[in-house]
Structure 1
Amino acid sequence: MLYIHATIITVNPSREIITDGAILVRGNLIEDIGKADILLQKYPDEEVTNLTDRIIIPGLVNAHMHTAQTLLRGAADDLELVSWLCERIWVMQGNFTPGDGYAAAMISCVEMLKSGTTCFLESMFADRYGFDGLCKAVEETGIRGCLGKIVMDVGTYASDPKWAMHPGLIEDRETSLLGAVKMHENWNGAANDRIRVWFGARTPGGVSDDLYKEMSTISREKSIPITMHCAEVAADRSFFSSLGHTPMSYCRSVNLLSPSTTLVHMVHLDSSDISALAETKTNVVHCPSSNAKLASGLCRVPDLLSAGVNVTLGTDGAPCNNTCDMMQEMRLAAILHKPKSEYHEAEPTLLPAETVLEMATFNGAKALQLDHVIGSLEKGKKADFCVVDMRHVALRPWYSAVSAVVYTAQARDVEMVVCDGKEVVRKGKVVGIDEDSVWREAERRGLEIVKRSGLKGKVEGKWPIR
């Protein structure tokens, strides 16, 4: 297929924007890219899709996502973290079945595709959710998934007994670590290499030092990347301090810091932590919506970027964001850091639109060890891209294509998504998927989970319902 007459934001090494551009896709690769008139002359016999008045960007990379939690969207709003986790989220997740896990994965993948995400990193998929079902959902929807199987052996948060996990979520070394290795053997490289299997380690305090070290050793031996929440809330910082560590000195002590590790949230950092991240080329995921909604704090993204740390973006789960929409996440990331903070004066030039789009595309691909195949639109790379339809009153006029995408466009403006060379979204609908069936099944199962968890009457909000 030859896609023509679009404005193409390539995010290539020169950061070129091609006006009246075209992309030739053959198989799952970008065969050629350039001016439309030139490609039309070179390939006169190719089937053509006219994308006049559209902007094409690389497929968005959601570098932190909890697919299971999409069934819990809106079930724990306006709560602080302890109540959010211990009284709502863990209780409901501890009552999941594999069928619930599959339904959650399906609605998550469909929502991400419809909002322009072509690749995501699942952070911590528990054994009880049914890892095979998660992989099946990735296969069926056509998205690209890096899937973190949970690794843990301690049933509390930050070693605090009052933050005990629901018994249904507790796993041991054999189920979690060795189970992740087994899933890597079974699924890594499946679905035409759209599936990669990761270690999804629980937060420090939920994993013993010995298990972290064992996981880190296996990670290097078998090339299994690691993702982990870290330094998200003040309690995390207190936990590290109780051990005589800063967040990154602890992670270094258990061999976690490396280019194949992606650490999430990273709100409560010292300057020494930022230096350690830069030195070890460890990746960081910024989740602005989640951090703001749970009042976790503000990640020092400008300082991390200035130090040379690879920083990308993630939505986190639906109970602490309420959407899986990376378009919305880009806009908030670009705006959130400009006001005065404890680290800098008010500065409207911080995190410009270009930087944020890099974070959501190429930086995400780099964190996921996939920048050699996705993250930018170049000859020879995988054909993963998103088409934004600019033919709407809310989007016109526009002058900078990058600013239009980051500050103005929304998920509803995504018209087409191509992943691995296939049109997986066409005219705003996911191809080959009955979306009504997907959301109805998710709705049914979500209500059943609330009932099994004994939370009926507690998740419906504060105002009386007649």
Structure 2
Amino acid sequence: MSRILIRGATIITMESTSPVPPIENGAIAIEGNTLAYAGPLSGLPADFQPDQTIDATGMLALPGLVNCHTHAAMTLLRSYADDMPLMSWLNDKIWPLEANLERDDIYWGTMLACLEMIKSGTTCFADMYFHMRRAGQAALDAGMRASIARGMIGTAPNSEEALAYSRELVQSWQGQGDGRITVTLGPHAPYTCPPAYLEKVVRLAHDLNVGIHIHLAETRDEINMINQQYGQTPIALMEQVGLFERPVLAAHCVHLTEADIEILVRRRVGIAHNPQSNMKLASGIAPVEKLRRAGAIVGIGTDGAASNNNLDMFEEMRTAALLQKVSTGDPTALPAYAALYMATAGGAAALGLEGQVGRLQAGLRADLILLNTRVPHLCPPHDWYAHLVYAAGAADVDTVIIDGRLVMQNRQVLTVEEEKVYAEVTQRANRLVAAAQK
């Protein structure tokens, strides 16, 4: 069992929902894949004998960021179709191109996403897409932690096949990578998955004892469509079909009534807020501050790179905080610590991983990042929480450790051949675009 000691960093533990003073001149002890200690250097157990010591003087140590919602392999479609309404974007551009996706396209697109996320401090992500065995393999090979779900369209000809695939995916991939890979079911949305199909999904989730990852209340069009068909909101419809009887990760939740918020809080639904994607597609601004004050479980996601167009969680944190301030007219809305909490401990809770990651606390898995603070935009150090949300960026991430393994050090990713990924992705993206244009 390897032992790593990180010494000299200023530690941001995220152990509390309220800000606590960072730990100056701290120490983090890692045994295997577990945090053995995180606190002042003076309190480090005397019997801890490391195999490797990392001098983190001048760095911030914090939990790895958790990207609560993405479609990782959509890096292949980055900048392919921009400045379009959501439904036109899906029907006219995205779905026709996706019809030509091959399994290895998913592997390389996901590998590019993993590379981008590692370099920007994300250690765990929730992914919904196709050919998820290949996506899971990419996450394993890159050394990341991932929650994967096969996206299912209930109105599609292969809807039953998607259920069967999902069953097999859970049975073969749940817990792979010493627990780094978890599997959920991925019905796309209420407007693509009718109630009868969703009831099948719920039964399967009960049978397999897994959660569900779904898009909910993303656009006004969705709200109007569900209301016309069923006479209620998407959230109320999900309550009626029994979806919330399982652990649910609900992406977006932009357009909510007070009754919707009550349901989401009471059912302990994990909410993935995707501010930049919602802005770009003009979907609206989710009532995150209202959700947070009501006690909802809220994390942050990037959505796919085709609708963002990057996977940078530092940008998402900043955008989330600023959006709540301008939309509510309240400069105190979603303060920096709350935004950082959503991107770490809150995100872990939304994914059902609260007891594993998201905080720097003894007994949890060792997923953490080190940021270089010797840069102009992080000086002077008045408030590290404010710096992380309002000033820090992806390029400040120096070191990434996932499950106790060094995945990036000195900005060098140790698990991925970058040039090979770039070459593979470029060739495959060109083929997909050519095929879609025929």
Tell me the TM-score normalised to structure 2 length: 0.95
1:249 matched to 2:242? The reply is no
Between the aligned partners of 1:314 and 1:414, the Cα distance in structure 2 is 18
Q: Matches of residues 70-219 of structure 1 in structure 2 within 5 Å? A: 70-123=75-128, 125-126=129-130, 130-155=131-156, 171-173=158-160, 175-219=161-205
Question: What is the DSSP-based 3-state SS (H/G/I as helix, E as strand, rest coil) of the residue aligned with 1:204?
Answer: coil
Report the CA distance between 1:45 and its aligned residue.
Answer: 5.8
2:292 paired residue number:
305
Report the CA distance between 1:15 and its aligned residue.
Answer: 5.1
Between the aligned partners of 2:52 and 2:118, the Cα distance in structure 1 is 24
Q: Do 2:121 and 2:369's aligned partners in 1 also have CA atoms closer than 8 Å? A: yes
Report the CA distance between 1:150 and its aligned residue.
Answer: 1.8
Between the aligned partners of 1:238 and 1:387, the Cα distance in structure 2 is 45
Letter in 1 for 2:6: Y
Question: What is the DSSP-based 3-state SS (H/G/I as helix, E as strand, rest coil) of the residue aligned with 1:193?
Answer: coil
Letter in 2 for 1:423: L
Question: What is the DSSP-based 3-state SS (H/G/I as helix, E as strand, rest coil) of the residue aligned with 2:123?
Answer: strand
Q: Do 1:259 and 1:281's aligned partners in 2 also have CA atoms closer than 8 Å? A: no
1:290 matched to 2:277? The reply is yes
Between the aligned partners of 2:220 and 2:39, the Cα distance in structure 1 is 49
Q: Do 2:170 and 2:208's aligned partners in 1 also have CA atoms closer than 8 Å? A: no
2:68 paired residue number:
63
Judged with a 3 Å threshold, the aligned counterparts in structure 2 of structure 1 residues 285 and 241 are, in CA distance, closer, same or farther, namely: same
The superposition leaves residues 274-327 of structure 1 with CA deviations (integer Å, 9 ceiling, x where unpaired) of: 111111111211100000001000101111111111111000011110101111
Between the aligned partners of 1:227 and 1:177, the Cα distance in structure 2 is 14
1:8 paired residue number:
11
Between the aligned partners of 1:361 and 1:381, the Cα distance in structure 2 is 13
Between the aligned partners of 1:44 and 1:89, the Cα distance in structure 2 is 53
Pick from 32, 35, 48: which aligns with 1:30? 35
Q: Which stretch of the first structure deviates more once superposed, 308-317 or 437-446?
A: 437-446
Judged with a 3 Å threshold, the aligned counterparts in structure 2 of structure 1 residues 70 and 43 are, in CA distance, closer, same or farther, namely: same
Pick from 394, 399, 405: which aligns with 1:416? 399
The superposition leaves residues 15-42 of structure 1 with CA deviations (integer Å, 9 ceiling, x where unpaired) of: 5421111100110001112112332855
Letter in 2 for 1:226: I
Q: Do 2:220 and 2:283's aligned partners in 1 also have CA atoms closer than 8 Å? A: yes
Between the aligned partners of 2:151 and 2:85, the Cα distance in structure 1 is 24
1:461 paired residue number:
none
Letter in 2 for 1:4: R
Cα RMSD of the aligned pairs, angstroms, is: 1.5
Report the CA distance between 1:258 and its aligned residue.
Answer: 4.3
2:219 paired residue number:
233
2:365 paired residue number:
382
Between the aligned partners of 1:41 and 1:208, the Cα distance in structure 2 is 60
1:371 paired residue number:
354
Report the CA distance between 1:120 and its aligned residue.
Answer: 0.4
Between the aligned partners of 2:233 and 2:415, the Cα distance in structure 1 is 49
Structure 2's unaligned 5+ residue stretches are none
The superposition leaves residues 409-445 of structure 1 with CA deviations (integer Å, 9 ceiling, x where unpaired) of: 1111110000000011111121132111112211111
Q: Which stretch of the first structure deviates more once superposed, 398-407 or 347-356?
A: 398-407
Tell me the TM-score normalised to structure 1 length: 0.90
The superposition leaves residues 130-176 of structure 1 with CA deviations (integer Å, 9 ceiling, x where unpaired) of: 32211210111000010011223214xxxxxxxxxxxxxx5221x11
Q: Do 2:35 and 2:365's aligned partners in 1 also have CA atoms closer than 8 Å? A: yes
Q: Do 2:205 and 2:212's aligned partners in 1 also have CA atoms closer than 8 Å? A: yes
Letter in 2 for 1:324: L
Between the aligned partners of 2:50 and 2:73, the Cα distance in structure 1 is 45
Letter in 2 for 1:36: L
Letter in 1 for 2:338: T
**Deviation >6 Å, runs of 4+:** none
Judged with a 3 Å threshold, the aligned counterparts in structure 2 of structure 1 residues 312 and 78 are, in CA distance, closer, same or farther, namely: same
Pick from 388, 392, 400: which aligns with 2:375? 392
Between the aligned partners of 2:287 and 2:138, the Cα distance in structure 1 is 35
The superposition leaves residues 99-122 of structure 1 with CA deviations (integer Å, 9 ceiling, x where unpaired) of: 211111110111111111111000
Between the aligned partners of 1:451 and 1:25, the Cα distance in structure 2 is 48
Q: Which stretch of the first structure deviates more once superposed, 35-44 or 441-450?
A: 35-44
